[in-house]
Chain A
Amino acid sequence: MSRLLIWTLLLLTLSAPATGAVLPSAEEIQRLGARMYREGILPDGQAMKAFVSNDVAVDGTAFTCVSCHLRSGLGSVEGEVVTPPTNGRILYQERKPYIKGKEFVPSVANYAKYLPVRPAYTDETLATLISAGVDPTGRSVLSVMPRYELEDRDMAILIAYLKTLSDRPSPGVGKQEIRFATVIVEGSDPVAVESMVTPLQFSVDRKNSLAKAAGVNERVARMGYNMLGDLHGYTFTLTRWILKGDPATWRAQLEEYDRKEPAFALLGGISPGTWEPVHRFCEERGIPDLFPVVDDPVLSDTDWYTHYLSRGVRQEGEAAARYLHGMVELIRDRAIVQVIRDGRRGRALADGFRTVWAETGHTPAVDIVLPAGEPLTAEALRQAVAGHKPAVLILWDDAGLINPLGELMADPSRPGMIVASATWLGSAATTVPEALRAPLFLTWPYRLPQDDKRYDIAARKVLAGKRPDKYDQVILRQSYITQDVLGRALMMMRGEFYRDFLLDTIGMMEDMYYPLYERVSFGPGQRYASKGCYIVQLGKGENPQFEKRSEWVIQ
């Protein structure tokens, strides 16, 4: 039997109109449809059944709609495979041919405009596509699109759900304007705040100058169009949302700002303490929050809307655990002691180490907590060492650890290896005496300072001539990343300014080399951009440099 005949038979048997089924309420469609679309779970709780590459049966849970069409339904491009949009608004419109004579350079940013011509879908033809992989022209779509076995009612729910994807403009997006906001928690260091806001404002101002110039000069307009595509005519605004008082009251303040002047996305943001209420607010309201400047981000494998620069200070603890895992054979049964300065920072570092160390199945380290404010003494260290005879001593504390540790070095039973956080030691790291440098291994979650100098020119661009010494160098570079990622993502969005698509688009971006972090990487659903941390030692001499003892990412 010819393949054509098989497909025709399939068409006849599987293309029963899905419209006959009685649909549940709109809320139920959202809930049940999202579950099918994102998790591959049918309304009755079973996994959706699917076939890929013509014959391979897979559970829909391994091969969901969202894995290719993404959360927004606006499609993806990866390697050589292009996935077209699957939202109702686009499916139910005819796909017309490319318009002749329009100057337009095809690229990844606008690939979806060059998909083959087809008539508008109907509920019936869409059901045929989903169940048999045949589009309204009779063409079979690529075999990477699974064919799903769905009952009529389930099919109707899925189709109704597709119609709600990216179907109305996201709040904060006007005809020619996109509004952004940045959340500033009162009590943040003013220099830190300016360092966070300045690069964002630079980017907004630059975009607005271009839009203004394009409005009066056709050549600039054409250049803007070639560079930015559909984005070229838009202007941006950036509003500061200041949060005051008890974090328990932030929710109401955020809702009020959002009601008065909704923002398409929150950019940056800064808090001297928790970020959790802002994270929760964004999660519940579906508002993207790009790269807040916080030390202690909310960790989640499933939360969607807040994209962090890294996993915060805990990433240093995690790196220490991975580095030690590489030599665990040499430590054998000897103990590891973690001395932890009580407080947010010490706890996050220790928890990072503890979690990864447990994942690798090792005996937990012995934790010794130092009360906040109480100086570390050589005697306390001697006791810790005498009591547990550790192979490795981890000290999560500030530069106050250097002198007591120096005294411990004379002790013959001192541990072979000491681990500490270079970011917490700060510039005092360079004062570590030579005798201490051989056993001391430090965590450093940035590009090495001597190497990051190569990125000065790029980073200072966003200062527009202002003096760099007025700014916090880390935050300035972090915010540089925020504005650049945002700009690139908006250009790739081909005019589809939907909140979910912003995050989908960032997930499709290539790895980037930016100031500050050795490498920044993205990926569908990934929410911590910088994933690395070096283990370094101090070199010799009076002004020692860091020397790498690990790669950026330790696995």
Chain B
Amino acid sequence: MKAAVLILAAALLGSPGLAADKPAGEGEIAYIVNGYRYDPAGSGGDPDTGHSLCGTRCNAISADSVDYMMGGGWEMRKLAADREIVIPLDNPFMKGNCICTVDEFLARRSTRNQTVREGQ
């Protein structure tokens, strides 16, 4: 518990560490993943296992739009639909890439209303 507290404290209290505060309006890219497939990229990896692992890998980068909103004061703007992005499978036992089909969003602190809505 203690150690975990330190990580959160580092992030939440703005000390240099895991995350830095984002000023309103700057934002970050968020993906909602709609599909995935495995590309062995010449490695000869098993397609079924690859497909399953790419499910985990692609879904891991998927944002939850409700989660973005519920903290309060954030908005999401759609930038692109059904875009394909390629990410490495990142598995020590199998090579290849994952092709994730995503809707791309810009998520940011709302600039429309500087008095940020209070929580939920």
Interface residues of A (CB under 8 A from B): 295, 323, 326-327, 329-331, 391, 398-399, 416-417, 422-430, 438-439, 446-447, 449-458, 461, 468-469, 472-475, 484, 513, 515, 518-519, 534, 537, 543-546, 548-551, 554
Contact = CB atoms under 8 A, between A and B. Distances in A.
A447 B68 CA distance: 12
B92 A439 contact: yes
B80 interface: no
A454 B8 contact: no
B73 A452 contact: no
A327 B57 CA distance: 12
Contacts, number: 145
A423 B71 contact: no
Contact of B61 (A398, A416, A475, A548): A548
Contacts of A450: 11, 18-19
Counting chain B CB atoms within 10 Å of each CB, the highest count among A417, A454, A472 belongs to: A454
A489 to B, nearest CB: 15
18 contacts: A327-B94, A329-B46, A416-B92, A416-B93, A423-B1, A423-B3, A427-B6, A430-B18, A450-B19, A455-B70, A456-B12, A456-B71, A458-B120, A461-B118, A474-B1, A534-B60, A551-B59, A551-B62
B3 A426 contact: yes
A422 B12 contact: no
A451 B11 CA distance: 10
Contact of B12 (A453, A534, A549): A453
A544 B7 CA distance: 12
Nearest to A455: B71
Contacts of A550: 56, 60
Given A426-B7, A468-B13, A329 B49 contact: yes
A399 to B, nearest CB: 7
A412 to B, nearest CB: 15
Contacts of A513: 66-67, 70-71, 120
Given A513-B66, A518-B67, A473 B19 contact: no
A518 B60 CA distance: 13
A449 B49 CA distance: 31
Contacts of A329: 46, 49
A446 B53 contact: no
Nearest to A454: B71
A330 B91 CA distance: 10
Counting chain A CB atoms within 10 Å of each CB, the highest count among B1, B11, B18, B64 belongs to: B1
A549 B13 CA distance: 26
Contacts of A519: 64, 67
A454 B11 contact: no
A409 B86 CA distance: 28
B35 interface: no
A426 B11 CA distance: 12
A429 B7 contact: yes
B3 A398 contact: yes
Contact of A473 (B8, B46, B72): B8
A457 B49 contact: no
Contacts of B118: 457-458, 461
B2 to A, nearest CB: 7
B57 to A, nearest CB: 7
B12 A537 contact: no
A399 B94 contact: no
A424 B3 CA distance: 6
B92 A326 contact: no
B12 A391 contact: no
Interface string B59-98: 1111010111011111000000000000000111110000
B5 A449 contact: no
Nearest to A462: B119
B16 interface: yes
Interface in B1-34: 1-13, 16-19, 21-22
A449 B71 contact: no
Counting chain B CB atoms within 10 Å of each CB, the highest count among A423, A544, A546 belongs to: A423
A474 B5 contact: yes
Nearest to B67: A513
Nearest to B61: A548
A550 B56 CA distance: 6
A449 B7 contact: yes
A371 to B, nearest CB: 20
B16 A543 contact: yes
B52 interface: yes
A426 B119 contact: no
Given A427-B17, A449-B19, A513-B70, A327 B49 contact: yes
A468 B8 CA distance: 12
Contact of A453 (B11, B16, B59, B62): B11
Nearest to A392: B92
